[in-house]
Each structure stands twice: as C-alpha cells, then as structure tokens.
C-alpha cells in the first residue's frame, strides 16, 4: 500500500510526497488505520522506525477534517514527551507534514521564558507538545487549559517512566476529559510499562509490536577495542582525526564525563560539543542545529539527552563508555545506519566493562568484532598524544582547574537557592 492510497487530506499527501516517502513503514502501516478509526493504540517500536510520522499523519487528518481556517477552538491533541529535544522534534514533524493544513502545533518546555509560550497559547493551538515540568507549571498558574483534549499521546513512554514521570502521567488525567483517544508509544516493553499502559488505554486497545529479528539494523558494522579507562581519550582523538570528515556521535555515561571529555579534546585542538540536561536550553538547541547541519562533526552525549532524537546522517556512533544495559546499546547505535545508509558502531571497552560487553553481545545474538590493537600500536597512540602536550603535568593542572570550576558552580547554585527562598 502507498501513501497515496490512504484516505487522508490532500495537503498531508502533498507534504509526504515532497519528503520523498511513497510507502509506509511497518509501524505506520499498522498504526495509521487504527488511529484514523479512533482506536486506542499501544505500540512498541524502536527509534528510527518512523513512529513519529505514524502518530502525526492520522492526527493531522482527523483535526484537519473539522477545520475551516487556522483559528483554534482549544487544544484538541496533547503530546507528552520526556525531553526538550524530543518535544521540538515532534513539533517539527507536525509542522512539516501539516504545512498544507490549517492545523497549528506548538511545543512548550522548560529552560526558556514562559511569556512567549503563554502568548502562543492565548492565540490558540490545536496540537500541544509538552514536557511534563513546564506543562504543570502552566496548569498550576491557570495559563493552560486541557478540557477540550480529544487525543492524548505518550511518546517514548518507557523513557518517561525511566525519568520518574509516572506521577506526572497519572496527574494529567485529572486535567483532560475522560472520553478521549489514547496513543501510547514506547521503544521497549516490560511489566512496569504494561501496567501503566493498560491503566491508560481502553481494554480493547489495538496492540502493535514491531520486533525485528535483529535488534539493530543489518547495515551497522559493530566493533570493539579493549582500551583502559584512562586511555580512551587518546584513542578517541585518533579516531576523530582519521575520520575528520564524518559525523560522529560519542556516548558517555554521565554529564560530568561529557564536559571533561570535551575539555580534553579542546586541549588538543579537536572541536566537539556536548548535549546533556545541565546545559541551557538555547545552548542545547544551537548545538543540535549545528550537528544536524554538519557544521559540528563530533557531538558528545548522554543517554538521557539523545534518547528518541532523530539525527540524520550520523556515520559513526562511539560508545566511549559502554552503556549500563544491552537495551541502551540498541538505542545508541540506532542513531546510525538509518534507512539504506551504512553505519559504524565503535565501542571502547575497559577491563571493568567486560561484563557489560558480554550482556550486549548476548542481546545482539552474536559477538562483536574485536579490533586487535598490539602493544606497540597502543603505546604509539597514547604517546603520540602525550608528546603534543608539554608533559603529563599539563593534564593534572587542567583537571585541577576543572575541579575548581565545578566547585564555583556548586557555590553559585547554592547561592541562587538561598536567594529564591
């Protein structure tokens, strides 16, 4: 079946055609008819399967059918997302596919001033995409009304639960009508997710699960090098410089390690940037824009910050730190090898991380190719980087400076908290 065969508004078909899409993906093929019929849907599909469009296309059609102009009579669809970046991404898909319709979509999230958001809500919005924190701020202030919501969407629901948003998800139910269509989309499923899902959707909800035989795309080449924790930055530098024209997404386990790695790269003249929850929203948005456009080649990210985000044309995913679960590995490497494009997934595994590697390979159902690094090659990479610096003292001094800066930031935050009381 092709998109042109669906009973959806011509304006939506035009937008789909301009994007070059002709046939729906599996999740779209199974979800769109059910959503158009008004069914509740519980869908399990990984990032990169086209699930955002699977939601957006039928929602746009349903709302467009009843609109004669761009004026809004209240928020008809509420989309809850776990992060700022995902909210903006969903908003972008609504605006792109809804370009030739009268449907207005708008994202609100924390980290920015509330006034412009309040002004847009005053003007009227059909589809509101939110992060829980800012949504409840505006609800409690009386600046947001959800009494006309007809469709509730929970996107990346498993990630929302991981971040502790269960109470927020349940809390929103007191602010929207009992009679509504609920669409619950998640990348993974377990007993905890099932419990929350079935408490929200109707008992006769359509359940859809897209489970490829291989948990990751076949066009991704996986490899691992055994590198000790303190030496990883030298090998990352070597990799970046040998693939300087490639777009590279580097995953670390914590925000502190992200910033520390960025500074280590800066000291040797390698341009990188970071994305994590401690950065200001405007900075994160600017960084993501530069990376998407290819102006920034290397982005260092945490799992939370990059979850669910669609970043086109990532050629390399580097697991600088191995993820804490096999599922996170699948989410990470799913950023490369999209569609017909080939991708590379490199992992640096220290002695302490060998058990994690074992779990990842069991989940993949096959061993990851070992990159053989001889002692001579290993020493050569480490020493080549150290020789560029005055000596190892430089590293120690730099780390001391970082520690001092971190202390100052903590003091500033404490000062702000006192001032807020």
**Tens-digit pLDDT profile for residues 79-119:** 999 888 889 999 999 999 999 999 999 999 988 889 999 99
Pick the CATH number of 220-389 from 3.40.50.300, 3.50.50.60, 3.40.640.10, 3.40.50.360: 3.40.50.300
DSSP symbols for 287-318:
HHHHHHHTS--EEEE-HHHHTT---TTB-EEE
Predicted pLDDT at 385: 67
Pick out the chain residues at pLDDT < 50.
390-394, 396, 413-414, 416-421
In the block, tokens 């202390």 appear at: 407
Predicted pLDDT at 77: 97
Dig out the tokens for 74 from the structure.
Answer: 């209240």
**Cα three-residue angle 21-205-187, rounded to 5 degrees:** 55
Determine if the pTM surpasses 0.95. Answer: no
CA-to-CA distance for 33 and 16, rounded, in angstroms? Answer: 16
Dig out the tokens for 83 from the structure.
Answer: 């992060």
3-209 and 220-389 in the same fold: yes
Closest Cα to residue 297, out of 338, 244, 232?
244
Predicted pLDDT at 225: 96
Number of residues in the chain: 421
Predicted pLDDT at 340: 66
Predicted pLDDT at 391: 42
CA-based Rg of the chain, rounded to a whole angstrom?
23
Pick the CATH number of 3-209 from 3.40.50.300, 3.30.70.20, 3.30.300.30, 3.40.80.10: 3.40.50.300
Q: Give the HSE-up count for residue 369: Cα atoms under 13 Å, Cβ half-sphere.
A: 8
Dig out the tokens for 176 from the structure.
Answer: 């929207």
Residue extents of the structural domains in the chain: 3-209, 220-389
Predicted pLDDT at 417: 41
Closest Cα to residue 127, out of 158, 152, 96?
152
Q: Are strands 105-108 and 77-80 parallel, antiparallel or unpaired?
A: unpaired
């Amino acid at each position: 079946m092709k998109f042109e065969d669906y009973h959806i508004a011509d304006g939506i078909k035009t937008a789909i055609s301009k994007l070059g899409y002709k046939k729906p993906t599996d999740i779209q093929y199974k979800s769109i008819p059910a959503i158009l019929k008004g069914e509740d849907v519980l869908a399990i599909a990984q990032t990169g399967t086209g699930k955002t469009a699977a939601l957006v296309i039928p929602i746009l059609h349903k709302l467009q059918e009843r609109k004669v102009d761009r004026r809004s009579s209240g928020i008809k669809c509420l989309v809850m997302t776990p992060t700022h970046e995902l909210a903006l991404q969903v908003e972008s898909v609504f605006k792109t596919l809804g370009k030739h319709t009268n449907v207005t979509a708008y994202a609100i999230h924390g980290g920015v001033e509330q006034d412009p958001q309040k002004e847009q809500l005053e003007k009227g919005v059909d589809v509101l995409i939110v992060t829980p924190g800012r949504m409840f701020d505006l609800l409690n202030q009386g600046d947001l009304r959800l009494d006309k919501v007809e469709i509730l969407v929970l996107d990346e629901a498993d990630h929302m639960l991981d971040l502790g948003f269960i109470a927020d998800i349940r809390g929103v139910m007191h602010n929207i009508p009992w009679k509504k269509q609920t669409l619950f989309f998640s990348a993974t499923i377990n007993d905890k997710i099932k419990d929350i899902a079935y408490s929200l959707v109707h008992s006769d909800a359509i359940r859809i699960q897209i489970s490829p035989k291989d948990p990751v795309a076949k066009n991704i080449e996986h490899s691992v090098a055994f590198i000790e924790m303190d030496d990883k930055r030298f090998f990352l530098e070597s990799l970046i410089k040998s693939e300087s024209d490639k777009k590279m997404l580097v995953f670390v386990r914590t925000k502190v390690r992200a910033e520390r790695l960025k500074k280590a790269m800066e000291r040797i003249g390698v341009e990188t940037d970071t994305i994590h929850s401690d950065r200001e929203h405007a900075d994160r948005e600017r960084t993501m824009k530069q990376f998407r456009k290819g102006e920034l080649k290397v982005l260092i990210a945490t799992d939370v910050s990059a979850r669910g985000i669609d970043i086109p044309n990532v050629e390399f995913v580097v697991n600088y730190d191995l993820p804490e679960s096999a599922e996170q590995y699948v989410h990470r490497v799913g950023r490369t090898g999209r569609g017909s494009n080939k991708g590379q997934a490199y992992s640096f595994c220290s002695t302490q991380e060998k058990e994690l590697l074992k779990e990842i390979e069991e989940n993949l159902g096959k061993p990851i190719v070992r990159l053989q690094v001889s002692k001579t090659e290993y020493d050569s990479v480490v020493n080549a980087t150290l020789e560029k610096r005055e000596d190892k003292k430089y590293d120690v001094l730099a780390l001391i400076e970082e520690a001092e800066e971190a202390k100052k930031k903590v003091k500033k935050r404490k000062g702000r908290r006192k001032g807020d009381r």
